[in-house]
Amino acid sequence: MVEELNELLRILIIDDDEVDRMSIRRSLRKTSISAEIFTAETASCSLELLRKESFDCIFLDFKLPDMDGLELLEQIREMGILAPVLVVTSHGDEQLAAKAIRQGASDYIPKSLLTPEGIYHSIKTAIRLHKVEQDKRQAEEKLRTTQQQFEFVVSNTPINFWRINQDKIISFASGLGLELIGLPAEKVMGLSIYDACARYPHLIEKFERAFKGERVESVTETNGYFFKSQYLPISNEKQEIVSVIGFAFDVTESILHEQELTKAKELAEESVRTKEQFIANISHEIRTPMNGIIGLASVLQKTALAEDQRKYLKAIQTSADTLMHIINDLLDFSKISAQKFTFEYIDFNLPQLFDEVTALMDVRVKEKNNIFNVSLAPTVPPDLVGDPVRLKQIIINLVGNASKFTQSGSISLSASAESETENEVVLKFKVEDTGIGIPQEKLQAIFESFNQGSNDTSRKYGGTGLGLTISKSLVELQGGNIAVWSQPNVGSAFTFTLPFKKKEDQQLVAAPEAEYDEKNLGHLKVLLAEDNEINQLLLNKVLSDWGIRCEIVSNGVQAMECFHQLQYDLILMDMQMPEMDGYEAIRRIRNSGGEGAHTPIIALTAHASAVEIDKCIEAGANTHLSKPFNPAHLYQAILKLTQSEQQPLADSGSTITLQLGILRDMAGSNSSFLEEILTMYVKGTSEAIAQINSHYEQQEWNDLQQCLTELSDSMSVINVQPLLDTIEEASAMVTHKKTEQLDVLIKKMALQGQQVITLLEQELESLAFQS
């Protein structure tokens, strides 16, 4: 027996024939059906019962005394009663029974089948079908409710839904978003996409891509609104595209918000650039006259002066140095704020750096009757890899600060190892003083910009209030930290830590540049292009002291005229000049052809940024000097560019070093094998540089790229980082078809390659001597 017939069923029998009613009752009792049976002899009695009671199944005879069976069936259904109705028919009433079924009866049963088996199967079938119908009605109701909710949401939110059939006709469209773009659903349904979207070809293009099998996702603007859309191709079992369905969300608000954020970001970046440019321009405008003041003061020092004149001159130099310190602070602060600060990682000797700091600061410290103590713990490795310039800047800032606030006391500088591994060491530096100290309530703000503890301190001791801010940033940008302890009238202690790499043992360093020596330049003829009269006077004096003949012009146009008339050994080119600036003049010289195009050029500029230096080199300058410059640095630059017959168009950049550890490990104790490898390196490097030059001149870019890759592979074994950097930059230019800028890099590569060869030959000589 089935489970649904095990429960008690309420059954109504509507029949005016007592025999039939009894027959149905007897048959029901003989089945396994548990039933509570109700009977009605007339239609009116049955309707009264149906209004009061609910039933699981109804037996209905056609022939009733007060109403036709079909009419009663109709009324039952109109009352909303959905219980299954089994029509009891006599022989020959089949057509009438079929009509009853069309009007809502569940089934019919002839009187001849009013047996237990017949009644059981009829009730079972009727109840099962009734349950199916009931489930169907409930599902349809849920679907109807869901559809209504969906339509409500779609019609009241800016969402679009659509379906396009195989003929590219819009078969379904819905959504408030369609109204926003001027394509209301009731107007576009039944139209082709070409007619409906004639004003929006970008939408047609998305549909066509989807019909080619592509799942298209996009954010597009239509009629002033932004929609994030998806177009999905639908395939049949033969993998044929039969339709495209899609939906789109209105994201106008978020897009506009994003645009506002982008605009705000651009405005902020523009503000930063404007500030940077302003500071750079101020720096240039101040550095240019300061170059003359400092330079002429240096020249005057070499002349016979009365004591009071020498005192006044010293005051001028001190004021100039102070102003330059302020300018440098502002430039550093600007670069740090713009997150454009970069660090070098080069070899340096820490004891030597401490000696330089001592020589520089000893006089300043002792001017205020202070004792200056410097100590370096024996556990500190002397040779390190890092940024010695920035380390010295931090120490000088802190020692200078201590000196400023200490009178007749002591200042100490010390360094010790805080932690150490095989390849790295973290050093702890401390600068202590017995000065005026800092109040506790001011300690938290001591590293803030333009803060000196109090206004009284600023007025009494001067300064920008940027020194400690810059020092803190320099420490933290290198992965260290800085702290301060202080007590008023007792003193202060600034400590900071910095990580450094240890210098590798197997490393050869190119010979340092010759020291400043005024000699052997009298044969040179130099063209000086400089618009500032004081700088003209200063440079002419410095150059004439070295015996150099100097032609002076005031702008780029005059420089070009002199360049075409005479041959010069060297050109000093100021980059900011009227009529034609130095950048344009250098480019024209380099593009002029002939031997003069290779004349060494030193760019002179008051801008000290890395961007400015790169700009000068890209224009074609061999090297760059920032104003105000040390005469010794100018001398070295001139000597470097003129002492050799070969004058490359680009400075070699960072110091060239070789790391031969891998080759030594390969050779082991076999010095002959190492000698053979190094000889191969000398020959291979020379040939590679020659091939690179040849491919460049012939514009054979694929072959050039191959040679660059091969040279990079060999140089990576001995870790020649500056040359590897140059190769990488040149390779990128070839890859991106920016070959017009390659000339400087090819020349730079040749110079670096020659330095590598020189160092390799030195190592070969050392091996020969050892054997």
pLDDT digits (tens, 9 = 90+) for 379-422: 899 999 998 888 988 998 899 889 888 999 999 999 999 999 98
Same-domain status, 619 and 696 = no
Residue 638 lies in a domain: yes
Instruction: Assign residue 565 the CATH number of its domain.
Output: 3.40.50.2300
> What confidence score (pLDDT) does residue 506 get?
41
Q: Look-up: residue for tokens 């082709």?
A: 192
Q: Say if residue 198 is in the same domain as residue 244.
A: yes
Residue 710 maps to a domain: yes
| C-alpha torsion angle, residues 227, 231, 232, 234 (rounded to 10) | 130
CB-based contact 712:731 (threshold 8 Å): yes
| CA angle centred on 520, ends 517 and 522, rounded to 5° | 120
Predicted confidence at residue 338, as pLDDT, reads 61
Are 331 and 191 within one domain? no
The answer as to whether 7 is a domain residue is yes
Is the pLDDT score of 511 beyond 50? no
Q: What are phi and psi of 321, to 5 degrees?
A: -60, -40
Least confident of 37-41, 136-140, 144-148, 613-617: 144-148
Q: Calculate helix-pair angle for 18-30, 116-156, nearest 10 degrees.
A: 90
Cα separation, 535 vs 619, whole angstroms: 23
Count of other CB atoms within 10 angstroms of residue 674:
19
Does 62 reside within a domain? yes
Give the highest mean pLDDT range of 218-222, 234-238, 439-443, 736-740: 234-238
Nearest to 126 by CA among 91, 76, 85, 186: 85
The last residue of a domain, from among 509, 544, 577: 509
Same-domain check for residues 581 and 661: no
The answer on 359 and 320 residing in a single domain is no
- Could you tell me if residue 738 is inside a domain? yes
Is the pLDDT score of 608 beyond 60? no
| Average pLDDT in the chain | 81
Mean pLDDT of 24-41: 89
Grade residue 669 by pLDDT with cuts at 50, 70 and 90: low
* pLDDT attached to residue 2: 37
Residue 64's Cβ-count burial label (10 Å; 0-12, 13-18, 19+) is buried
Rounded to 10 deg, the angle between the 467-477 and 388-404 helix axes is 150
Residues 89, 15 share a domain: yes
Higher per-residue pLDDT: 453 or 334: 334
Share of the chain above pLDDT 90, in %: 19
- C-beta separation of 55 from 83 below 8 A: yes
CA atoms lying within 13 Å on the CB side of residue 225: 20
498 & 447 share domain:
yes
Confidence of residue 716 (pLDDT cuts 50, 70, 90): confident
Query: What are the helix (H) ranges across 197-306?
Result: 201-211, 252-301
152 or 85, greater pLDDT? 85
Model confidence at 516, pLDDT cuts 50, 70, 90, reads very low
Measure the CA–CA gap between 193 and 191, rounded to whole angstroms. 6
Q: Which residue has the tokens 């191709």?
A: 233
pTM score, two decimals?
A: 0.41
Dist. CA 93–CA 60, nearest whole Å: 13
Residue 151, in any domain of the structure: no
Exposure b/e, 413-437, CB count within 10 A at least 16 = b: bbbeeeeeeeeebebbbbbbbbbbb
Q: For tokens 């050109």, name the residue.
A: 571
* 536 and 627 both lie in a single domain: yes
Which of 635, 577, 649, 575 has the alpha carbon at shortest distance from 607?
575
Q: Is the pLDDT of residue 515 over 50?
A: no
Do 486 and 363 belong together in one domain?
yes
3-state secondary structure at position 229:
strand
Q: What are the C-alpha distances in Å from 655 to residues 200, 384, 424, 711?
A: 61, 15, 21, 19
Q: Are 108 and 86 in contact (CB under 8 A)?
A: yes
Q: Between 276 and 142, whose confidence is greater?
A: 142
Domain boundary among 457, 474, 509: 509
pLDDT of residue 770: 58
Pairing of the two strands 570-574 and 525-529 = parallel
Name the domain boundary from 642, 665, 687. Answer: 642
User: Residue 615's pLDDT is what?
Assistant: 84
Amino acid at 161: F
255 CB-near residues (< 8 Å, 6+ apart) = 219, 226
- Tell me if the bond preceding 628 is cis, omega within 30° of 0: yes
Report how far residue 89's alpha carbon sits from residue 70's, in angstroms, rounded to the nearest whole number.
12
Q: How confident is the model at residue 614 (pLDDT cuts 50, 70, 90)?
A: confident
> In the chain, what's the furthest Cα-to-Cα distance?
153
Q: What pLDDT band is residue 654 in, cutting at 50, 70 and 90?
A: low
Total domains in the chain come to: 6
| Of residues 181 and 498, more confidently modeled | 498
Length of the chain: 771
Confidence check: pLDDT of 243 > 50: yes
Q: Is residue 329 part of a domain?
A: yes
Q: Which amino acid is at 377?
A: A
Q: Does residue 11 belong to any structural domain of this protein?
A: yes
Residue 617: pLDDT band (50, 70, 90) is confident
Please report the pLDDT score of residue 572 as a whole number.
95
The CATH number linked to 400 is 3.30.565.10
Distant-in-sequence contacts of 118-124, Cβ < 8 A, 24+ apart: 118/27, 119/24, 119/27, 119/28, 119/31, 120/5, 120/31, 120/32, 120/33, 122/86, 123/5, 123/9, 123/11, 123/33, 123/57, 123/86, 124/2, 124/4, 124/5
Phi, psi of 12 (to 5 degrees): -110, 130
- Sign of the torsion formed by the C-alpha atoms of 538, 542, 547 and 552: negative
Helix, strand counts (H, E) of the chain: 26, 24
Look at strands 623-626 and 601-605 and give their pairing: parallel
Please answer whether residues 352 and 318 qualify as being in contact, where contact means their C-beta atoms are separated by less than 8 angstroms.
Answer: no
Q: 25 is in which domain, residue-wise?
A: 3-138
Percent of the chain with pLDDT over 70: 83
CA distance 100 to 89: 11
| CA proximity to 531, closest of 588, 572, 584 | 572
Question: pLDDT class for 666, splitting at 50, 70, 90?
Answer: low
Q: Verify that 241 and 309 share a domain, yes or no.
A: no
Q: Does residue 133 share a domain with residue 37? A: yes
pLDDT of residue 416: 94
**Residue 182 or residue 500, greater confidence:** 500
What pLDDT score does 645 carry?
40
Helices (H), 302-413: 307-337, 350-367, 388-404
pLDDT value, residue 484: 92
What are the helix (H) ranges across 626-741? 631-642, 661-667, 671-697, 701-717, 721-735
Residue 673, pLDDT > 50, answer yes
Q: What is the pLDDT of residues 551-574, one digit of tens each?
A: 999 999 999 999 988 889 999 999
Coil, strand or helix: which one is 552? strand
Residue 472: partners with Cβ closer than 8 Å, 6 or more residues away:
447, 482
By the 10 Å C-beta count (0-12 exposed, 13-18 middle, 19+ buried), 473 is classed as buried
Q: At residue 190, does pLDDT exceed 70?
A: yes
Asked whether the beta carbons of 623 and 648 are under 8 A apart, the reply is no
CATH of the domain at 712: 1.20.120
Looking at the structure, do residues 448 and 543 belong to the same domain, yes or no? no
